[in-house]
Structure 1
Amino acid sequence: MNRRRKDDDTGAALPLVLILVTVIAVVLGALLSFADTSVRTTVNLRDQAASAYTADGALQAGINAIRNSTFTGADGEHCFGASDTLSLPGFGSGGAAAVSCTADPAKVQIQCPSLSVCNRPGSAILTLGTGGEDGLNIQQPTGSSFRVHGVVYSNSNINVVNGSLDTNTAVYARGACAGTIRSTPAAACGYGGSNLGADPGYAPALTSVPPRQALPPCTKAGSLVTFQPGFYDDAAGLSAMMSASSKCKDSTFWFTPGTYYFDFRNSAALRPPSLPGGDDVWTVDNGYLVAGTPVDAGGRIIAKPPVPAKIPAACDNPIDDAKAAGVQFVFGGDSRLAVKAGQVEICGSYRADRPPVALYGLASGAEAPVTGTLTPGAATGDFTGGTAAALSKVDSTGATWAAPGKSGGTATLTATAFSPAVTPPAGTILTSAKIRVTHSNDHGASKDSRTAQFTPAGGAPIPLTLSAPSDGSAATDVTDVTSQLAQSVYDGTFGGGQLSYAVNVKHEGTELVDAVQLDLAYTPPALRAESGCTQLPYTSPSACALVTALNNSGNRFYVQGTTYAPKAVLDVTLNNATEPIFRFGVVARSLWVKETGSVTFTGAVIEVPDDSPGFVFGVYLSAYVCPGTGTCAPGGTPVARARVAYVDGDPANPVAGARQVSVLSWSGNR
C-alpha cells in the first residue's frame, strides 16, 4: 500500500482549478448577458429611430400634400381630398404610416423673415369704413382705367364713377359695387367670406410723444432746410415755410431718418402767443420735400439731398434696399397734410417683420389733462410763522405780522418756489392759471393798502389784485395769470416763481396771510387718435381728409412704403400720373381718387409687391407608424406632431403648389 508523505501536496491544485473555472464561468456568463442586452438595446434604438424617421417623413408628406391642394379648412372640406387621414403603406423602414389632420380654427398672419417673403400688407388697397361713405371712390374721365397691382378690399362699397378699376388679381367689397371693375377672378361684391378685410393693426413707431422740435431757420431761397425727428405742432409755420412767398421758397426740405409726430394745435383756443392761429392743415405749396435717406440718380446713398431734389427717387426706397433707413410720419388729432404745388416723397424704413409704414394716422390715444395746486417751498420777510406748510392751505394759521402801534406800519412777505413736481414738457397747452391769496386783518380798514405780485422764474412780475378785508374777515383774491404763463408753459421752461406781498396799515392790529396758491390746469402733448373733422363721413368737399394731394407734371406726391390710416380718409387727385403714387399698399378708412386730363400712364397707381402674405389657415398633423408594409390606421399615441400654417395670396382662390408653408411647431414622442 502506498503511503503519502507529510510534505506531499499532490491534489492541492484541484480546488484552485475549480475556483478558477467557476470565476471564468461567472465572468463569461455576465459578458454574454451584457452582450445580449446590448444587442437588444441596439435593435430597439434602431427600431425607434426608424419609427421616428418614418413619422417625420410622413408629416412632411402630409404637409406637401396640403401645399399641393386647395384645401382651406372650410366647412365640409377634408385635408386630403375625401378624407382627413393620409394613408402611407410601406412608407419606410419603420413600417407603414398614417397622418391625421385637424383644421386649426385660428387664423393668423405670419410674420416673415425677409423682404422677399411677406413683410407687407395683404392688399394693395384695404378700406376699413363700414358705412355712411364710399369705401373706395374713383372718379375719372370716361374710358380711363385706374390700375392697381394687388388685391382690392373694401369693408363697405366700391364706387367707380367713370372708366374702370383694373387689378391683376382679386377685388372684394362687403357692400355693393358700382361701375366697371376688371379683376381675376371677377369682383366679389356683397362678399361675406374670409377675414382678409380685417384691420392689420400695425403699431406706430413710437409709444410716447417725442421732444418738441422748433422749426429750422428759413432765410434763403433755393437752400437746404433740414428737419430732425421729433414732435411738431405748428401747421401754420410749416405751411408758411413751404409757400411761394416764403423766404426759403424753392428749397429742398429734408426730413432726416427717424419718427416724426405731427399734432397741430394752431386751432387751439388757448394757444400760446408764439403759436399762430389757423387750421391744423400743413400745406406744401412750394419746394421739394424729401423724407428719408437721400440717394443719387443711381440709387446710391449720399450725405444730403440736392437743391432742387429730383422727385421721385430722391430717397432710399425700402422696396429696393433691405437696409433702407427712412421715416415714419405719424399724424394725431385733426392734423392733416395737403400737397398742392410742391413735390413730396416719403420713404419708409425696411423692416424684417412688418411693412415699412411711412405714413401713419393714429387710431387710438387721448389727451390727459393735468390739474394741480402749487404752493410755496419757503417764505421770508417781516411775517412770522410763515412756513411753507402754513401757507399751503387755508386754515387761519398762516404767516402773521402785528403792527407795532396805533399808527400802524408796513411789512413784506416773500413766498418762493411754487415749483411743479414735473415740469410740463414743451408743447403743453396751458388752459388755466390762477393765483389765490387768502388774507385778513383783525382791525381792517379801508385806508389800508396792500400790493402783491408774482414773478415767474426768468419772467417779468405780474401784478395781483388784492382787496381790503373788513375787521376780522378773510378775503380770498383770485388773479387769472393764464395769458402771462402760457408761453413759458408751452416752451417747457416754467419752473415756478415767487410771490411778494406788501401791506401798509394805519392802525394797530394783526395782518394774516393765510395761504398763497397757484392753481394750474394744462394739457401736455399726447398721442391722439384722429379726431375732429377727420371723423366726419367723407361725402362732400367740406369734409377733412388726412392727406389731400394733387399730382400732375409739376406737383408730385409719392409714398415709398405703406400708408396706414385706419380712422382717416385719403383723397388724391391725379393729372397725367407717370409713376405709382402709393407703394407697399394703402390701409385707410376710405380712399378717394380723382383722375383728370389725359391718362397715359399704363402702370399701377397703387401697388403692393407680388409676394404679399394674405391671411393663413392652419392645421394640426399627427403621424402614426405601424409595423409591416400593410396599411396603418391612426390610433394610440402619435409618434410625431406638427402645427402648420399655409399662406395664400388670395384665401378665396388658393393656388395649389403656390402656397407658402410655415411650420409653427414640431414635436415627437421618441
Structure 2
Amino acid sequence: MNRRWKGDDTGAALPLVLVLVTVIAVVLGALLSFADTSVRTTVNLRDQAASAYTADGALQAGINAIRTSTFTGAAGEHCFGGSDTLSLPNFGGAGSAAVSCTADPAKVRIQCPSLSVCNRPGNAILTLGTGGEDGLNIQQPTGSSFKVHGIVYSNSNIRVVNGSLDTNTAVYARGTCSGTILSTPTPSCGFGGSSLGADPGYAPALTSVPPRQALPPCTKASSLVTFQPGYYDDAAGLSAMMSSSSKCKDSTFWFTPGTYYFDFHNSASVRPPSLPSGTDEWTVDNGYLVAGTPVDGSGRIIAKPPVPAQIPGACDNPIDDAKAVGVQFVFGGDSRLAVKAGQAEICGTYSAERPPVAVYGLTSGAESLVTTTLVPASVTGDFTGGTTASLSKVDGLGATWVSPGKSGGSATLTATGFAAAAAPPAGTILTSAKLRVTHRNDQGTNKDTRTAQFTPTGSSPISLTVSSPGGGSAVTDVTDVTSQLAQAVYDGTFAGGQLGYTVNVKHEGTELVDALQLDLAYTPPALRSESGCTQLMYPSSAACALVTTVNNSGNRFYVQGTTYAPKAVLDVTLNNATEPIFRFGVVARSLWVKETGSVTFTGAVIEVPDDSPGFVFGVYLSAYVCPGSSTCAPGGAPVARARVAYVDGDPANPVPGARQVSVLSWSGNR
C-alpha cells in the first residue's frame, strides 16, 4: 500500500543535516587553516627574531674581538688575526654565524702624540715676533673677558688692556705680561722658552704659482659670483666687486674648493694697462664671501651656497667633518685682506697628518727679473745671404742687398719669429721691450730712405725708428715698444711677430741688415715672501696687517681652520661673533684683538680642538647567520651591519682591551 505525505516534515531532515555538516566543515576548515597560518607565522617570526638576535650577538663578538686585539687598520693587517672573517660555529639559537670586516678608509688622528705628528697646532695662539711690538695685544671694555680654548704662547710680551685674558689651560710669554690673565696653571711670564714656542713651519698647499685667473663677471646684484682656484693679482678689482656701489652688490662670492694665491700688484710702478693702480689691500665691504664646500643649516653638503649666505655655517667645517674639502688662501708680497661691512667665512681642508690651514702668509720666495733676446725664426725678401743665425747677433754678417746701378733702387726684408721658447705666463709684468735694428750702407746717404715696422701676432703694426747711415759705419736703431707689448705679455698671449724692413737708395752700394733683435725684461708671477708694509713694526702709521677687520656692525669674519702667518700681523675687531672666529688656532708674528662694547658672544674667540674628538681607525662589520648549520661563511645579504670606530691612547702602541669603542651606525635586514 502506497503512503502519501500528510503535511509533516519527516522527509526534509536529511537535507538540513547535510547543509549543517557542510557549514560546520567549512568553518572548521577555515579555523584550522587560520590556526595553521598563525602557528607558521609565529614560528617564522620566532626564527627571524632568533636570526636577528644571533646577528646582533655576532656583531658584538666581532667588535669585542677587535677591541681586545692590536689591529689598527694598517696595510696588510687583518681584522681578526690572520683573516677578515670571524667564524662563530653553533652560535646562539639560530645556528652558526660569521662576521666579515672591512677597514674604514676614514681615519682621524687628533691625539697628537707629538707636535710633529698632529693635525692641529700645539697652541691656540702662537706669536713669533721677538720684540719691537706687542706679541699679543688685547683691547676691550672694562669687565670683559677674552676667552681662548688652548695654550697661549708669545715669544715676546702679552698686553691686556682692560678686562682679562681667560684660557682653559696655560699661558706663556718670553717677555713681560701686563693686565689680568686667568689660566691654569698661573701665567708663566719671562718664560725661558720651549718647543711650544717654535714656528711649526707648515708648508703651503702649493709649490709654484697656479695659472692666473681673471675676475668672474659681476653684472647683477644679489647673485652668485663664482671664483675658481688660481692666481689673483688685482686687489682693486676684487674690492670694487665687493663694494656697496658694485653692480653685483649683496651677492654671495663663492670661492670653490682649492688653493688660491693672492699676490697683488696694483701698487707697482710698472703695470699693464688693464691692471688699475691702488693699494694691495683687498677689501670686503659688501656681500658674503664663502670659501670652501657649501653646506646648509644642518651641515649637509649642497651644490652651491645660497644668496644671501648664512655666515657662519656656510661652508664645510674640518672640525666637524673629516671629509671636508675646503680652500687655502695664500698671500704673498704685501697683499692683504680687510673685512669691513661685508661677511666672510673661510673653511680649510681636513687632513689626518697636518692642520687644516685655511689662511697662509708666505715666509719665503721672491720675484726674479728675466731678460732675454728674441730673434727671427725665418727671413724672406730681396736680401740674400741672411740666416736666422747671422741676424741674431751683431757680427758684421747678415742679409745683404746690392743696388742695381748708380740710380739706386729699393728692397724689402721680412723677418718673422721673435717668440720666446717658453712664453711668459699670464700675469707677467713687462718691464722693458726694445727692438734693435743694426744696419749699414757702404756708400753715401744722400736722399736715402729706410723704414721698418713690427707687427705683433694678432695686433697692430708698430713703426720703428730707422736712421740712414753711410760711409760703411753700422748703426743700431733702438725703439722702445714696452707700452705696446705690455698687455699681451700680461695676458699671456704674446707670441712674437713680424718685422718688415724697407730701403730706398739713390746710389750704388751694398745695404747690410746685420741684426734684428727684440730685448725683453719681465717679471713672471712668483711665490713671494710677505714684504713691504706687512713687515713694519705694528702699529706704526706705515705698518699694515695681513688680515684686518674693522668696527662695523655689519661685518663678520670666521676662519674654520688654522691661520698661519708667522711673518705678519693680524688685527681683528670683534663685533657680531656668534662662535669662535679662529678655529684650529692662530700662528702670527703679532696678534691684536679689539672687543667692542656690543660683543655678546661669551665663548672662546680662538680655539684648538681637544684631543681625540674623532677616532684612530674604523671598520665596517657585516653579520651572516646560517640556521641549522654547524658552520657559516659570509654570503648573500648580511642580517646586520655596523660601522665602528676605535680610539687608542697611543695609536702607535695600542693596548688590547684598553681602546675606546664608538658605534657610529647599526642596521639590520629584518
**TM-score normalised per structure 2:** 0.74
CA distance in 2: counterparts of 1:498 and 1:576, whole angstroms: 60
What secondary structure does 2:130 align onto?
coil
Secondary structure (helix, strand or coil) at the match of 2:502 reads strand
User: Where does residue 117 of structure 1 map in the other structure?
Assistant: 111
Query: In 2, distance between residues paired with 1:595 and 1:367?
Result: 38
Q: How is 1:469-508 mapped onto 2 (pairs within 5 angstroms)?
A: 469-508=469-508
Count of aligned residue pairs for this structure pair: 512
Equivalence map 1:417-436=2 (5 Å): 417-436=417-436
Over 3 Å counting, the alpha-carbon distance change for 1:310 and 1:551 in structure 2 is farther
CA distance in 2, matches of 1:235, 1:482: 24
Alpha-carbon distance in structure 1 between the residues aligned to 2:140 and 2:468 = 75
1:35: which partner in 2? none
Q: Provide the rounded CA distance (Å) in 1 between the counterparts of 2:251 and 2:456.
A: 40
Provide the residue aligned with 2:75 in structure 1.
Answer: none
Q: Distance in 1 between matches of 2:300 and 2:648?
A: 35
CA gap 1:612/1:436 in 2 versus in 1, 3 angstroms: farther
- Measured against aligned partners, the alpha-carbon deviations of 1:470-496 in whole angstroms (never above 9, x if no partner) come to 311111111111111101100111111
**Distance of 1:176 and 1:305 partners within structure 2:** 46
Q: TM-score, normalised by structure 1?
A: 0.74
Superposed, which structure 2 residues align to 1:196-275 within 5 Å? Answer: 196-275=196-275
Give a deviation string over 1:17-64, Cα, whole Å, max 9, x none: xxxxxxxxxxxxxxxxxxxxxxxxxxxxxxxxxxxxxxxxxxx9xxxx
Task: Name which of structure 1's ranges 438-447 and 554-563 shifts more when overlaid on structure 2.
Answer: 438-447
CA-atom RMSD in angstroms: 2.0
Whether the 8 Å CA contact 2:415–2:500 is kept in 1: the answer is yes
Please give the residue correspondences for 1:575-594 in structure 2 after superposition, counting only pairs within 5 Å: 575-594=575-594
Residues 530 and 568 in structure 1, CA contact (< 8 A), matched pair in contact too? yes
Matched ranges for 1:289-328 at <5 A: 289-328=289-328
Deviation digits for residues 615-638 of structure 1 (CA, Å, limit 9, x no counterpart): xxxxxxxxxxxxxxxxxxxxxxxx
SS at match of 1:416: strand
Q: Is 1:372 the equivalent of 2:341? A: no
Deviations 1:89-125 (A, max 9, x none): xxxxxxxxxxxxxxxxxxxxxxx96244241001000
How far is the alpha carbon of 1:551 from its aligned partner? 6.2
Amino acid at match of 1:114: V
| Conserved 8 A contact 1:241-1:248 | yes
**Contact map agreement 1:576 1:597 (CA 8 A) in 2:** no
Contact 2:446 2:506 in 1 (8 A): no
CA distance in 2, matches of 1:419, 1:599: 60
Paired residue type of 1:486: A
* Residue 550 (structure 1) shift: 2.9
d(CA) in 2 for partners of 1:397 and 1:590?
63
- Partner residue in 1 for 2:179: 179
1:445 positional shift = 1.2
Q: Distance in 1 between matches of 2:178 and 2:241?
A: 42
**603-612 or 524-533: bigger deviation:** 603-612
Identity %: 82
Letter of the 1:205 partner, please give it: A
**Aligned residues of 2:341 and 2:552 also touching (Cα < 8 A):** no
Residue type at the aligned position of 2:111: V
1:358 alignment counterpart: 358
1:631 equivalent in structure 2: none
Q: Partners of 1:663 and 1:220 in 2: how far apart?
A: 55
Amino acid at match of 2:266: N
1:549 equivalent in structure 2: 549
- The answer for unaligned runs of 5 or more in structure 1 is 1-59, 61-111, 614-657, 666-670
The answer to whether the 8 Å contact 2:143/2:163 transfers is yes
Q: Which secondary structure does the structure 1 equivalent of 2:238 belong to? A: helix
Distance 1:115 1:309, change over 3 A: farther
SS in 2 for 1:391: helix
Q: Which runs of 5+ in 2 are unaligned?
A: 1-69, 71-105, 113-118, 614-646, 655-670
Any conservation in 1 of the 2:566–2:589 contact (CA below 8 Å)? yes
Instruction: State whether residues 341 and 553 of structure 2, in contact with CA within 8 Å, keep that contact through their aligned partners in structure 1.
Output: no
CA separation of 1:234 and 1:540: change in aligned 2, threshold 3 A: same
TM-superposed deviation, 1:598: 3.6
1:178, distance to aligned residue in structure 2 (A): 1.2
Q: Measure, in 2, the Cα distance between the counterparts of 1:418 and 1:291.
A: 42
Give 1:541 deviation, angstroms.
4.6
CA distance in 2 between counterparts of 1:297 and 1:237 reads 31
Q: 1:270 to 1:552 in 2, by over 3 A?
A: closer
Deviation track 1:174-213 (CA, whole Å, cap 9, x = no partner) reads: 1111111111111101101421100001111111111111
In the TM superposition, what are the counterparts of 1:67-82 in structure 2 within 5 Å?
none
Counterpart of 2:445 in structure 1 is 445
Give the counterpart letter for 1:505 in structure 2. Answer: V
Report the counterpart of residue 96 of structure 1 in structure 2: none
Q: Give the Cα separation in 1 of the matches to 2:351 and 2:243.
A: 34
CA distances 1:488-527 after superposition (whole Å, capped 9, x unpaired): 1001111111110001111111111000101111111011
Instruction: Map 1:321-360 to 2 at 5 A.
Output: 321-360=321-360
